Chains A and B, each alone.
Chain A
Amino acid sequence: MADPITLTINGRALQVPAGTLVIEAAKKHGIEIPAFCYYEGFTLQAACRMCLVEVEKMGKLQPACTLPAAEGMVVLTESPKVVDARKGMLEFLLTNHPLDCPVCDKGGECELQDMVFRYGAGESRFVEIKHHENEKQWSPAVYYDPARCILCYRCVRVCDEGLGVGALGLTHRGVHAEITPSHGDHLECDECGWCIDVCPVGALTSGTYRYKSRPWEMNYAGTVCTHCSNGCKTTLSVRNGEVIRANNRDRSGINGEFLCVKGRFGFDFVHSEERLQAPLLRKDGKLEPVSWSEALAAVAAKFGEVKARGGKFGVIGSTRTTNEENYFLQKFARQGLGTANIDHHRSGDVVTLLDALKGKTDALATVGDLYTTKAALVIGSDLSQQHPLLAVQLRADYRHHQSSTYVVTPGEVREDQYAAKSVRAKAGEELAAVEALREDLSKHESLVILFSDAIKGEAVGKLVAFGDSLGAAVKYVCLQDYSNSRGAMDMGLLPDLGPGYHAAPAAGMSMDQMLAAKDLDVLWVVGANPLENTALASESAFVVVQDLFLTETAGRADVVLPAASAYEKTGTVTNVCGEVQRLKQGPKVMGVKSDLEIMGLLAKELGLSLGIWTADKVFEEIRKTVHGYNVALPVIATGGAAQTTPVNGGVPVTVRPELIRSAGDTLFTSGTLGRYSKMLQGVMEAPGELYKR
């Protein structure tokens, strides 16, 4: 950016970089210039004419949203001429606006209401018949009311520019002009609902939220989305203990206001009719609802008995439970039960990556880095399907900073739209394809390499060696599946590695070995569904499952303990980039307990002393014992994300790469949770062919 220039707004001399838009210059210095169509980060429209300001030596009023500040420019934002123009615009806007504010979802958080309140006229002169069009349903998630629409084109832009989907456009003209899906009467898109979020009025409304509440009648909980590994901050709107909306309008968190369909609409599993709300105990071959004390006593009795006779335990952890729960689980297994057989579903080879990065600092990218890097290389992942936030970040980096993205994937992906180069490579041929990009990649001073489970084991080391040879500042993201896939690794839910990737005193069985062991006495599954496609070899094993639903694994269990979802508890999770964020309790579901509480109660029942089992206390212990987790508490306490620096030395790697496989979720699937979300199941895009352009 060029040298700073000085302009005068309302008599105040302000210094801003040359080329700054007047609306931004004013905002930076606390002067509000109202606007509907101006939306930071997206193309300029100058359509709403709300930001007209008076500029000395310019005859006409000028739109502040497209006017670059220039040296010596004198701007008035509250002169009588400007005030009159604004009042006029609002009067024009309200002529055909239905003014059904009392029943409009947006009432209370509507930008048009706010503007009229602040700048509008006291009365309307409009006495004609209003132009009206009926409301339309575009998809289960998105409804459009053309009468309320003020045509600011925010929705069109976020869809086209932000996501590359381009599902929305404009049809008809004049007062009949309205937003129309590119498929005519319905949406075929990501169903992310970003358009609903940015809509300044109630024209676009959400299928989950419409006519359910007023914004001031809800409680808000800023937590982290529990679906994919990107770790988007989401604000749950909770009414009477029920979540009815998820969004992030305050743009706090690493995702700004972006959420995908899972984050914005896929929360309804919480209140699914199939949610388990009482412990189940197998009696005469049938699972019967019992009290918590009876269920816990049954589990404790079995655990105590097997432990006493030195029997074989198998413990499988979750990729969605909190760090605290994962830490406590491995502690429970290793110290409490004395077993080394602990594992979870691994979806990315973080272990080998951390080993390969030994001695390096600052080699792990954050979500924010994807927006600032000069170049990115995506290997083996359909990013916009599997890691929507990362895809949005890279696209924004391209739009705002002209970054270069390189893609090495087996099939077409949406990133091809803007990729500097796209290479199709079959499984196993990715590294050769990457090598062929050497010349292109070495042109850039910074590079982020994102790789899926296509790169694992030895290949990870080779990839890092390739990165080292480029001479650029290279950072890595090892792509994983779920909200705490990374945390499960960090907390040591591995047969050979304890918390912080320290070698476990004794190596135990991996997940596939546990399932195949005919002599397993106890299988304890916390928030996972390993028996979805695999049978348990040990017929006599006593199976304890903590889960939200009666999954295939829970169906085989002897005791099922109903667990709280991530939205119903506190704790921390670590996203795909190693950023720790705090969960906050939103809704309440009767009869369930958090996994931490369940484990704590079990420990008590067994007479084990594993420490205090509240999330805060366990996190304190994690901060002390797990390398890199001594992150700044104020950052996460205020809803921010703090990146961990897991290890800086070698990791004793004994993992077998074949144990690492991504579940391959798309935008509309999310493991077990996705199966119980009516919203995710209800959109036409799910779960068939990937939607690509």
Chain B
Amino acid sequence: MLLNKPHPLEVKVLTRRYEYPQKEAIGVDEYVAKEGYEALKKALDMTPEAIIDEVKKSSLRGRGGAGFPTGLKWSFVDRKSPKPKYIVVNADEGEPGTCKDRIILEHEGHRLIEGCLIAGRAIGSNRGWIYIRGEYRTQIEAMDRAIAEAYARGYLGDNVMGSGWAFHLSTHTGAGSYECGEESALLESLEGKRGNPRLKPPFPATSGAFQCPTIVNNVETYSAVPDIILKGGDWYAALGTPKNGGTRLVCLSGHLVTPGVYEVPLGIPLMTIINEIGGGVWKGRKLKAVIPGGSSSPVLRPEECDIPADYDSLAKAGSMLGSGATMVLDETTDMVKLMARIMKFYAHESCGWCIPCREGTAWLAKILARLDEGAGTKKDIDMVDELAQGMMGRTFCALGDAAAMPAMSFVKKFRGEFEAKIANAKVYMPAPQTQPLVVL
């Protein structure tokens, strides 16, 4: 079990049942012994409105990346609709650098199940799916075991805890596509189709899985719900900063002394996460840059990092909290190589549906690879920025933005490195023709 040593600055809510070292997943007995399914019991006696109000009060925001207020999302579902309503868990954890959902899936599936049940109760649903990326074989098996236990104990099934209300849950395996982490592409994939994003509106709350009202939330989001119900939305909200309630998991990676997944309250200073929890930059080196929320979030220079780590502060700094994947880069990092690698990822993962993303990511990947090899020109550096701007806000879904944002920020903030690559090319590479190949 991959669980790092806890840090005293952590605020343990989601991970409060974890021990170090955690030998195996928290089984149903242990879960129940430690207040497990108490929140469900409480929720079964609450009205759907009361559940949603409690979640609204908690200021819980989506932990998948976009940070949409969860209670608000749930309130969009028309509970009076004659159609079945569905709960979908986004466990397609694909954002590079992100590894928090796997901790929950692996260690405490019952927390996620309980969260789903409460969400199901809130919108009047009887069916849910956990869409897990196919690479998470161990996690899928752990989740299946937890679901089987929950069925055996009557927490899932036709009569949930004797309430007469039915709720069924199962896992669904993804087939290896970053795009399927986008909620509408995930729904397409869940329905057995190609993982292309859907037109919005309608949003899933109106027409989601199988054209029925559906809520799609991240694993971590659902997992936060049991404690909100148990201890109250106000209690949860107070853990964080205004409009940024509670705690979240941060995936610390990169050039740190103690990388790992930690639970921190929202609003904790970013530098505290890096220097205290992460143990600071390794090998006594200097900090060069921080990618605060997964590879799609714009990069920050050290001087931009003196900010609280919450949704709004990071947005103000021109980046985003994203999926909580904080990548720390030391002074030796080759920023051009890193950007070329990131773009290669997006070119590989673009679904191909819309022109700017399909062609733009592939083109950028080629230019960046060339720049990295020292075969670029200064014009190419400008072009990376121009092409990224041509994609930004013009693609069908957010994948195009996710690829454009880091490209623009890398060029803007580390232009010197790009230029140095060209100047210091060890092997002379002929620059590509300066005349356009095709004159139309």
Contacts and interface: CB of A to CB of B under 8 A. Distances in A.
Most buried by A among B347, B349, B351, B355: B355
Nearest to A87: B390
Contact of A122 (B394, B433, B440): B440
A175 B347 contact: yes
Given A60-B393, A125-B383, A131-B362, A175 B354 contact: no
A128 B363 CA distance: 8
A31 to B, nearest CB: 21
B394 A173 contact: no
Contact of A92 (B196, B347, B363): B363
Chain A interface size, under 10 / 10 to 19 / 20 to 34 / 35 or more: 35 or more
A123 B350 contact: no
Given A66-B199, A175-B347, A175-B352, A95 B395 contact: no
A93 B436 CA distance: 16
A177 B436 contact: no
A61 B390 CA distance: 11
Nearest to A36: B355
B396 A47 contact: yes
Contacts of B177: 173
Nearest to A151: B352
Chain A contact residues, majority secondary structure: loop
Interface string B166-181: 0000000000010100
Given A49-B356, A60-B393, A123 B194 contact: no
A150 B355 contact: yes
A46 B199 contact: yes
Nearest to A127: B432
A85 B177 CA distance: 28
7 contacts: A46-B354, A47-B355, A92-B356, A93-B359, A128-B432, A169-B194, A174-B358
Given A46-B199, A49-B354, A151-B352, A174 B361 contact: yes
A211 interface: no
A175 B348 CA distance: 8
Given A46-B354, A95-B362, A127-B433, 16 more contacts: A46-B199, A49-B356, A61-B394, A88-B390, A91-B390, A93-B359, A116-B440, A123-B436, A124-B437, A124-B438, A128-B370, A129-B366, A150-B355, A174-B347, A175-B358, A177-B358
Interface string B190-201: 000010100100
A174 B349 contact: yes
Interface in A296-341: none
B194 A170 contact: yes
B427 interface: no
B436 A88 contact: no
B33 interface: no
A124 B438 CA distance: 6
A632 interface: no
Contact of A49 (B351, B394, B433): B394
Contacts of B438: 94, 99, 123-124, 126
Most buried by B among A50, A169, A176: A176
Interface in A122-157: 122-129, 131, 150-151
Interface of A: 44-50, 52, 59-61, 66, 84-85, 88-89, 91-96, 99, 116, 120-129, 131, 150-151, 169-170, 172-177
Contacts of A173: 177, 179, 349-352
Given A127-B437, A128-B363, A173-B351, A151 B358 contact: yes
Contacts of B352: 151, 170, 172-177
B78 to A, nearest CB: 20
Contacts of A47: 353-355, 396
Interface in B359-410: 359-363, 366-367, 370, 383, 390, 393-396
Contacts of B361: 174-175
Contacts of A92: 355-356, 358-360, 363, 390
A88 B363 contact: no
Contact of B394 (A85, A120, A126, A174): A85
Interface of B: 177, 179, 194, 196, 199, 347-356, 358-363, 366-367, 370, 383, 390, 393-396, 432-433, 436-440
A160 to B, nearest CB: 12
Nearest to B377: A127
B366 to A, nearest CB: 4
Contacts of B394: 49, 52, 60-61, 85, 88-89
Contacts of A84: 390
Given A122-B439, A123-B440, A48 B354 contact: yes
Contacts of A175: 347, 350, 352, 358-359, 361-362
A92 B436 CA distance: 15
B193 to A, nearest CB: 10
Most buried by B among A120, A125, A150: A125
Nearest to A94: B438
A95 B359 contact: yes
A129 B433 CA distance: 12
B350 A174 contact: yes
Contacts of B194: 169-170
Given A44-B199, A169-B194, A126 B363 contact: yes
Nearest to B362: A175
Contacts of A95: 359, 362-363
A48 B355 contact: yes
A541 B269 CA distance: 107
B351 A177 contact: yes
A40 B194 CA distance: 24
Contacts of A60: 393-394
A121 B440 CA distance: 8
A436 B185 CA distance: 44
Contacts of B349: 173-174
B355 A89 contact: yes
B439 A123 contact: yes
Nearest to B350: A174
Contacts of B432: 127-128
Nearest to B196: A170
Contacts of B395: 49
Interface pairs A-B: 4 shortest CB-CB:
A177-B352, A92-B359, A88-B390, A175-B362
A89 B362 CA distance: 14
Contacts of A89: 355-356, 394
B393 A61 contact: yes
Contacts of B367: 128
Contacts of A124: 436-438, 440
A174 B351 CA distance: 5
Nearest to B383: A125
A125 B433 CA distance: 10
A326 B354 CA distance: 55
B178 to A, nearest CB: 10
